[in-house]
Structure 1
Amino acid sequence: GLGDVMLSLGFISLPFAIVKWSMECFEGFFSLLWTLLAFAIMSAMTTLVLLFRVLTSSIFIFVFALPSIFVYARSIKIEGGKGLSDSVQARLKEDSRAITTQDSGPALSLSLFTLNPARWANNLKEGVIFACGYVIALALSLRKGGSMVVSADNTEVDVGVNRDSQEARSDDNESVDSENESQESREGSQAGYYKKEAIGKITSGDKLDVIEQELSELLEAVRQRKKSLADSNDNICDICMELPKTHAYVPCGHKYCQDCIEIFTDKCPKCRASIETHIRLFD
C-alpha cells in the first residue's frame, strides 16, 4: 500500500542523509568508511523489508486466495460433472427408448422355470393355466407333498417329497396309490415329455407369434386331456386329473380331491361361488 511505498522511500533516502552527516563530521578515510558502512546497513534493512513484504504476501495468497481458487475450481468441476451426468442419463434414456421401439414384443418371463406347490396354487387362484406338462408334473408333486424345480437346460425335473406330510396322509392315500400306480408312471413320462417340449419352444429364440401359436396348441392339448379324462372317469378330480374326488364344497357341491380342495379356500374354481366349508365324501 501507500505506507509501504513511503517506508521504502524513507529507507532509500536515509543512507544519503547518513553520508552527508559523516562527510561533515569526519574527513578522509573515516568519512569513506562511515559512508560504506551506512550503505551496507541500509541495504540490508531494505532487503529485509522487501523479504518481509514478500513473505506476508505469500502467506496472504496461501491463506485466503488459494482456498478461494480451489473452491471456485471445484464448483466448476462439479457443474461440469453434473452436466456430463445429465447428458449420459439422457443418452441412456434414448438408447432405452430405441431398444423398446425395436423390440418385437414383450419380454418373455423365465420365472416359470422354478415352481413349487404354493406358487402353483397362487397362480391357479389367479386363473393362470400352465402347459400340459406342468399341470401333470405339478399335480404329481402335490399329491406327494413335494416341490418341483424345472431346470433351465431342459434336462431335469426334480420332485422333492415331503416325508412328514406323506407319512401323515399315507393312510388316506394308500388305496389311491395302489389304484393309480400304473397311471402315475404313464403320467410321469408324459410330464417329462411335455415339460421338455414346452421349455424347448420357449427357449429356442422363436418369435413371439410362433411361441403364442405353440402355447395355444399345448393349452388345447390340456383341454382335450381334461375332457377325455372326465369322459372316461367321472370320479377323477377335474383340477389335477389324477386323484379321485373325495371332498365337496359347501354350498355349491362341486367335488374335487383333498389336495385341490385345500388349495382353493375362497371361491370354487368351477362356478366361482363363495366357499363356506368343505366336507368329506364317503361311498
Structure 2
Amino acid sequence: MGYQGNKNGTAIFKKDDFGNFLKDRNKELIVEEDFSKIIQDYKAFQAINEIETENSFSFPLAELNGRFDFDYYAPENRKLLDKLKSKNAVKLADLCEIVKVKSKKLSQANEIVDYIELSDINTHSYEIINATSYLVHELPSRASYEVRENDILTAVAGNSIGTSKHATALVTRDYEGDICTNGFRILRNCKIDLYYLLYYLGTEMFLKQVFMYRTGAAIPNISDNDLGRILVYLPEEKVLQEISEKIRYSFELRKQAKEEVEKIIVAF
C-alpha cells in the first residue's frame, strides 16, 4: 500500500490525468492506495452478501480451490469460461497430444543440433525465425524436446505468456529434428485443422485463459495440467475452414516474399 513493489520500496502518490501530484486539504501528497475502496466494497458486501467492482468480487466458497490469486477467480475470466462451455468448447488435451518427453539426441554429447529458444519466434506471424547450432554437451540446460514438421510450439514459461507477445509457432520442414527449450510445449497429432488451431492460440480467448492459469512472479509459467484444461472454441466447419485458409495463405505469401528477396543479386 503506497509503495512500489521494488527493492527500494519507493513511495507512490496519486496524480491527475496530466501527471500532476494531488494534495489533500492540508496540502499533503495523497498516497496511492486502493485499501479505502476495498474497505468500502467489503461494507457493501456485508449489506447484500454480493459484490462485483473493479477491485472486489465475491464467489461461492465451494468454488475455492488451491489457488488464491485475483486473475484466477476474476469475474471476467469466469464469464469467458462459462461462455466457452456454453458453446461446447473442447479441452486442448482432448484435441492434441502435449509432448513433454526429452529427445534421445540429448544423450549423444558430440552431436551437433539446432536449438530453438523462446526468442526465436516471430509472435506476430506464428513463425520460427532462427535456430542456433550447438554441440549437445554445450546446449543450455533448458534444451529438451525434439520437434517435427507440423508440430505447434506454444510457450508455457516467461513474462510474455498470456499476453499479446505470447510465443506460438508452426514447425516447418526447415526445423524438422531441431531441439527446443522446455519453455515450450509441443502440440502434436492434433484432431483439428492445424492452421485454425494456430489462429486460436493467438486469440484473446486463449491468451486470457493462459494468463488466468499462470503462476509464479519471477518467471510465470503454466502447468501441463492447466495447459490441457484450456478450452478451444470450434466454430461451424465453414467458418473454421475460412479462418484456416487465410492463415495458410499468409504462410504462403511470406514464403513467396522470402524467395523473391533471395533472388535479388546486386552487382558489386
With the shorter chain as reference, the TM-score category is: under 0.3
- Greater relative contact order, per chain length (Cα 8 Å cut-off, separation 6+): 2
Structure showing greater radius of gyration is 1
Taking structure 1 as the reference length, what is the TM-score of the superposition? 0.21
Taking structure 2 as the reference length, what is the TM-score of the superposition? 0.22
Structure ranking higher in strand proportion: 2
